[in-house]
Amino acid sequence: MIIDLKDDLPAFRQALRDWLAETLPAGWSDAVDQGSEEDYLEHQKWWMAECHKQGLAVPHWPTEYGGAGLSLTGQVVLADEMARNAAPRLDLFVVSLNHIPGTLIPFGTPKQKQQYLPEIPKGTIWCQGFSEPGAGSDLASLRCKAERDGDHYVVNGQKIWSSFSMFAKHCILLVRTDFEAVKQAGITFLVMDMDTPGLEVRPIKQLNGQSEFGELFLTDVRIPVENRVGEENAGWKVTQATLASERGVLWFDWAERRRYSIERFYREALENGAAWLEDDQLRREFMTLFAEHQAGRRMIRQLLRENDGHGGGAAMTSAFVKLHDTTLRQRIADLLVRIDQLGGQEFLSIRNETVLHGMYDFMSAYGATISGGTTEIMHNIIAERGLGLPKG
């Protein structure tokens, strides 16, 4: 397997390149974009299976849980080669590959680790039931209620913005078990099977034409107490580990993919003699945004070092990275729409984000400044925790 070369990084990198060239079928991107939702699901499972054959599904996990203990440098090499070769992103498995080990390894019971972790590299999809219509940026205000009934919790409430919940087998769910305690002190963390009676999933049609998110409606859903992660009313602490797991290499992967996308876009413009290259203002804006993207990549590398224990400001750097990256995406998309002019106004719903498309990117970019902590929340974190400014 390719992962067996992880201690020889040049050989590891070359093996990745050779494998990607041999394994990815020509035109896979167009086929996925033009296919149905079911086709996309099957392609994602196929790609997960191919990665698993080479030990690349969960290489960053500790060896005792089925991973290879791949070093941070090795993870960066892997992400870089995937981006360079425009390989598919395992979008449907983001929660499975990052949030679940980041939660269960430090907080799960031995039984939970044994039950849930081994099935993930085999293609099990997880989703996240955190946000609610009245509890998004202020997650601790959640109202989804769980009442203890013997060896079960009976859950009633609603969740929203649950990525790929229509495909998921399991869900990590935050519920309120104490309405009298301080907000953070009354939350419990549960694992819910998605085929549990009383659960309804409704896909949410987005502006960009996709239905990435689902809305969950829970009516007297019974979840075994043994599915609780951590202690009752102590779920907020567990949640912080879950949310922290998406920082670091995941940000690196996104940034590297966009870097190669921008470079390909510019190279094709030069080859085709694109008209926008004759416009001084558009050319100046493009190069400015590309330079800012390169600066963002440097900041993400700093975040990786801090998360790896070589710095003490990971939380603050993460806020800077999130703020910079999501607002930059909007500005790049805005420029693309102006470059494409009328020729780019046709809307395409695409699943391969290694290709820049002005209107799709424009319609998709604005949600990023809301999800995972709004721009306003990032400003507050930087101002209050970083600069020591007073609240209000």
pLDDT, average across residues 64-76:
90
pLDDT, average across residues 75-88:
91
Token pair for 154: 């009976």
As a whole number of angstroms, the distance between CA 261 and CA 268 comes to 11
pLDDT of residue 282: 96
Each residue of 323-358: pLDDT tens digit? 898 899 899 989 988 888 765 555 455 555 555 676
Please, what is the angle between helix 72-84 and helix 249-272, to 10°? 30
Q: Which residues are catalytic?
A: 246
Each residue of 375-386: pLDDT tens digit? 888 888 889 888
**Quick one: pLDDT band at residue 115, thresholds 50, 70, 90?**
very high
Letter string b/e over residues 203-215, b meaning 16 or more CB atoms within 10 A of that residue's CB: eeeeebebebbbb
Each residue of 179-191: pLDDT tens digit? 999 889 999 999 9
pLDDT, average across residues 257-275:
92
Letter string b/e over residues 316-342, b meaning 16 or more CB atoms within 10 A of that residue's CB: bbbbbbbbbbbbbbbebbbbbbebbee
Q: Is 311 a residue whose pLDDT tops 60? A: no
pLDDT of residue 29: 81
Q: Is 369 a residue whose pLDDT tops 90? A: no
Q: Is 309 a residue whose pLDDT tops 90? A: no
Closest CA to 81 of 96, 62, 59, 105: 59
Closest CA to 63 of 96, 105, 100, 95: 105
Three-class DSSP labels, the chain: CHHHHCCCHHHHHHHHHHHHHHHCCCCHHHHHHHCCHHHHHHHHHHHHHHHHHCCCCCCCCCHHHCCCCCCHHHHHHHHHHHHHCCCCCCHHHHHHHHHHHHHHHHHCCHHHHHHHCCCCCCCCCEEEECCECCECCCHHHCCCEEEEECCEEEEEEEEEEEECCCCCCEEEEEEECCCCCCHHHHEEEEEEECCCCCEEEEEECCCCCCCCEEEEEEEEEEEEHHHEECCCCCHHHHHHHHHHCCCCHHHHHHHHHHHHHHHHHHHHHHHHCCHHHHCHHHHHHHHHHHHHHHHHHHHHHHHHHHHHHHCCCHHHHHHHHHHHHHHHHHHHHHHHHHHHHHHHCCCCCCCCCCCCCHHHHHHHHHHHHCCCCCHHHHHHHHHHHHCCCCCC
